Chain A
Amino acid sequence: MLARAVTHALVGLDARKVEVEAHLQNGLPGLAIVGLADRACQEAKHRVRSGIASAQLEWPSRRITVNLAPAGLRKEGSGFDLPIALAILAASGQFPLERLAGHAAIGELGLDGRIRPVRGVLAAAQGARYAGFGRIVCAAESAGEAALAGVEPVPGRHLAEVVSYLRGEIDAPPFEPSENGSGAEEDELDLADVRGQDRARRALELAAAGGHNLLFAGPPGTGKSMLARRLPGILPALTSEEALEVTRIYSVAGLLSAGRPLVRRRPFRMPHQSASVAAIVGGGPGPRPGEATLAHHGVLFLDELPEFQRPALEALRQPLEDGFVGIARAEGRAMFPARFQLVAAMNMCPCGGRGDPAAECACSTRKLAAFREKLSRALLDRFDLVVAVPRPRAAELSGRAGEESRLVRSRVVAARERIRAGPLTRTFPATELLDRAVERLPLSGRGRSRVARVARTIAAIADVDAVAEEHVAEALAYRSPRELSA
């Protein structure tokens, strides 16, 4: 009396096929689950037993062994409940075994037999498709997510319903794609709400067009985070592949909102200053994605940059360089994509007095030195654009409303296309100006190449063919100022 159901276990963002074998034999009635099941998975025993009883099905009073193969792979979470229940029911002949062919299954069982959604259904469904399964039995709430993978979902609200389907008593419960992300998006924050701040706005636009990392430095309350939050709104919309990638990450992290399976907005992540290394780059025994990965294809915003733990900041260097995070575990290595744009904000000194014409900096030189010590050269080097945001005078706050995000975005999209079309050449006077700047300003070799990159973006925004002197001159205004690095 042996039956098999198939499900998928998550390893990082990837799904690995797991066969759930149930074997009934004579002996003292009981259920044993083997195959490196974690705590939540072991508890499946109780949920499955109650679920089967609640569905008015028969709990075989035999000795039941459930094996999760491959036995060497760690199984985490409650998504194994449904396949375990199905394997047991098939083994005890409560529906024809062959009906399970071509079906994968994932879902948690309630004590009343209800099927609950779990995280990572999209990844599991993708895994099912690669393994050649045409259908996946899952919670009704997860059906939209599963459908994104190109697998036909069998949405089940209750175990009894799924069993009736497998007995051939009913057709697969119909799956209606919810109106999905195509419906009206929640209101995006608009740049029109930001008054004044012309330079910072300009820098934001350049950051969006060139994919540059951006650092705002200035006293508190100058609208640094207000600006940063509006960056996703001026970035081009996610392509469908990008949207699927982001959705998969959010699915694994359990952050998808029900009824809106596809993430269409660029992520904006703003971890708190107390975030640990694992929270930033991901971690845990079966590694989970961190903020850097959740910001994939979007924006990672670090407010009060120097308040972050130094190791957490240093851990960001790999994803900034390579676009992914690699987490090594005894059982192997998980790779999380992490191609995000970094925006950070900081005060110019611990007391916040610097850059504020109305206040005086009361920081001792030692305190100031410690504050700057926190930001390594290597990290500051990642910011192409550094904008000092001094406190505006009252007159500026009543200034005209800014341009709408929509208009800025159209320029950004055009500039990106221009950059993609081919490299822009640099005119001779522009190169000359760069050389002169290295000589006269505190500008390092790395600083020089950063300025050159930004100048290219400025030229692309200006919609011209070559980087001219004025583009380099503007780019120089966003260089990392001496007082942040000295």
Chain B
Amino acid sequence: MIELRRADQRFPARLRAIFDPPRALYVRGAGAVALLGRRAVAVVGARSCSPYGAQVARMLGRELGAAGLVVVSGLARGIDGEAHRGALDAGGLTVAVLGCGIDRDYPASNAHLSRRIEEDGLVVSEYEPGVEPAPWRFPARNRIIAGLSEAVVVVEARERSGALITADFALEEGRDVLAVPGEITSSLSAGTNALLKLGAAPVTAVADVLELLGVEPRPSTTAEVSAAAARVLELVRESAGGADELTARGVLDAGALSVALTELELAGLVAGTDGVYRAVTT
């Protein structure tokens, strides 16, 4: 563990620039401290997210990580965790900002994730070891997430979500705020859709984020898939659905459909959650 005082040369400049930077930043992990100065995007959102949100967060984490950006998030369950996992999937770098003492793993269910993040990335906190997690520390943590990042992407948020606090901090500091559109009937999208109404940039693909930051997207590699799989991919792209819906819409029987879906899953083109298959957009 390293303690970075505000006066320290290595203290990230972007974070020092915010209205009330922390007095010190505690850092653990195998990543270089200089990581905190690299170009970074925060991906944040609800803890109890929908499968759709989880999938988008994972995809964003993966693609942003692959594009060489540092993915910053809060190690919480749901969107945060998925964003970290996505970045790790792509072999990218990711930084987790804690709302409790640097020696704590909170939530405990993400302890394993935090180990993985530390392998190449960093876990940071403004709190010295031993500080208990408390609800009122999380908004403060959010200002660090925003402060470390050039842009904040909100994936799913209810009307009064902590992720919106992060977005507010970002706006105050003049960082970009983006939001992922959701279903207008879902309360989980109320916060993000409200952000969009206020003028946040909509994210319909990773390219939207990369363009805003002026990062060159990596050349898209279209995976070679069989004719049957290509047909199924088309169906899934029309609208997500369970295996049986796809059978009803398509021409494949249940066995052949499963073969095609597995092929698409392995190629990273389709993801299945709770029995519903969705196209993975890049």
Does any Cβ of A come within 8 Å of B83's Cβ? no
Cα distance A34–B276 in the bound complex, in angstroms: 67
Cα distance A329–B47 in the bound complex, in angstroms: 50
In the complex, the 9 A-B pairs of residues with the closest C-beta atoms, listed nearest first: A388-B275, A477-B258, A390-B242, A198-B254, A202-B254, A199-B243, A355-B274, A473-B262, A390-B275
Nearest A residue to B274, CB-CB: A355
CB within 8 Å for A440 and B266 given contacts A360-B187, A481-B272: yes
Min distance, Cβ B262 to any Cβ of chain A, angstroms? 4
| Segment of A105-113, A122-130, A392-400 engaged in the interface with chain B | A392-400
Min distance, Cβ B151 to any Cβ of chain A, angstroms? 27
CB within 8 Å for A198 and B253 given contacts A360-B186, A473-B259: yes
Nearest A residue to B266, CB-CB: A440
Does any Cβ of A come within 8 Å of B173's Cβ? no
Q: Is the CB of A199 within 8 A of B254?
A: yes
Does any Cβ of A come within 8 Å of B34's Cβ? no
Cα distance A101–B264 in the bound complex, in angstroms: 75
| Segment of B119-127, B140-148, B194-202, B244-252 engaged in the interface with chain A | B244-252
**CB neighbors of B among A411-433 (8 A):** 433
Min distance, Cβ A361 to any Cβ of chain B, angstroms? 8
Residues of B within 8 A of A (CB-CB), count: 34
Cα distance A389–B255 in the bound complex, in angstroms: 15
Question: In the complex, which residues of chain A have a beta carbon less than 8 angstroms from the beta carbon of B281?
Answer: none
Q: Is the CB of B48 within 8 A of A388?
A: no
Contacts A/B (CB < 8 Å), 24 sampled: A196-B248, A198-B243, A198-B253, A198-B257, A199-B243, A199-B258, A201-B254, A202-B254, A348-B275, A355-B242, A361-B48, A387-B275, A389-B275, A390-B241, A390-B275, A396-B244, A437-B262, A441-B265, A473-B258, A476-B258, A476-B262, A477-B259, A477-B262, A483-B274
Task: State the total of A-B contacts with C-beta under 8 angstroms.
Answer: 106
Question: In the complex, which residues of chain B have a beta carbon less than 8 angstroms from the beta carbon of A354?
Answer: 51, 274
Min distance, Cβ B249 to any Cβ of chain A, angstroms? 9
CB within 8 Å for A474 and B276 given contacts A198-B247, A369-B109, A393-B245: no
Q: Is the CB of A396 within 8 A of B266?
A: no
Does any Cβ of A come within 8 Å of B261's Cβ? yes
Question: In the complex, which residues of chain B have a beta carbon less than 8 angstroms from the beta carbon of A196?
Answer: 244, 248
Min distance, Cβ A452 to any Cβ of chain B, angstroms? 14
Q: Is the CB of B242 within 8 A of A392?
A: yes
Cα distance A348–B51 in the bound complex, in angstroms: 12
Min distance, Cβ A272 to any Cβ of chain B, angstroms? 26
Q: Is the CB of B255 within 8 A of A390?
A: no
Cα distance A95–B186 in the bound complex, in angstroms: 87
Question: In the complex, which residues of chain B have a beta carbon less than 8 angstroms from the beta carbon of A331?
Answer: none
Instruction: Map CB proximity to B onto A278-305 as digits: 1 under 8 Å, 0 otherwise.
Output: 0000000000000000000000000000
Does any Cβ of B come within 8 Å of A26's Cβ? no
Cα distance A355–B242 in the bound complex, in angstroms: 9
Instruction: Map CB proximity to B onto A111-142 as digits: 1 under 8 Å, 0 otherwise.
Output: 00000000000000000000000000000000
